[in-house]
Amino acid sequence: MNAVVTLHGLYKDYETDAGPVPALRYLDLSIEAGEFVAIMGPSGSGKSTLMNLLGCLDVATSGEYLLNGRDVGGLSQNELAEVRSSVIGFVFQGFNLLPRASLATNVALPLVYQRVERRARRERAAAILQQVGLGDRLDSLPPRISGGQQQRVAIARALVTNPRLILADEPTGNLDSVTGREIMTLFQRINRDSGISIILVTHDLNVAHYATRLVYLVDGTIQYDGAVAEFHEPAPELP
């Protein structure tokens, strides 16, 4: 297997009036092609910072980040944008769909930036929507479908460019428990059938159990990295 994500000594701090405050402290992490990894940790542990770095939305203070074998640390903003559009698919808690555009148009949007011809965009979007169970709703508008269906559209949009990696940030956070389980089962199927690596941030251990590996952060460091089934979430500290 080949590593999709490799971190060596990744460090990130933020400047404050009181001086630099570390958010991530010299992380070493490798995620192989086809892995399904959940990231958990208490508030302030560095989960969001790590996801921003993995998604090339921010840059580390120091250390090395290899994405699909490419060192992204020295890339320009335009080069980072190209990496985001071609290698990574994003799924967020909020569905981030255009309310007045059809489902097919929403899914095809990343292909516009890749200058794919209109007919090919439509065909690709239709095929992906079929894959997520919405092949009969191409021309529906997001406000006319359920939250679970909107998240399926967002997942289809993440898949339409054939990414190597999907980053999912609390993707069930706006959904009821039944719909959340359906979405997580869909992620499992995508991971199994396509071999796309998935990195999922969640605060819910029940959601994390859909992954096969768990990385648990505390104060910007990795406190656990292993099988989800063997992890026992620590009790919250008393004030």
Q: Which amino acid is at 39?
A: I
Q: What is the pTM of this model?
A: 0.93
Dihedral pair phi/psi, residue 189, rounded to 5°? -65, -45
- What pLDDT was estimated at residue 211? 97
Mean pLDDT score of the chain? 93
For 140-194, write each residue's pLDDT tens digit.
Answer: 999 999 999 999 999 999 999 999 999 999 999 999 999 999 999 999 999 999 9
Please determine, looking at this structure, whether the domain spanning 1-87+164-239 carries the CATH number 1.10.10.60: no
**Residue extents of the structural domains in the chain:** 1-87+164-239, 91-162
Q: Which amino acid is at 180?
A: G
- Which pairs from 46-52 meet CB under 8 Å and 24+ separation? 46/12, 46/217, 46/219, 46/220, 46/221, 47/201, 47/217, 48/169, 48/201, 49/12, 49/23, 49/24, 49/220, 50/24, 50/217, 51/167, 51/169, 51/199, 51/201
Distance CA(50)–CA(27), nearest Å, equals 10
pLDDT confidence of 19, banded at 50, 70, 90?
A: confident
Q: What is the DSSP string of 114-146?
A: TT--HHHHHHHHHHHHHHTT-TT-TT--GGGS-
- What pLDDT was estimated at residue 133? 95
Residue 238 has pLDDT above 60, yes or no: no
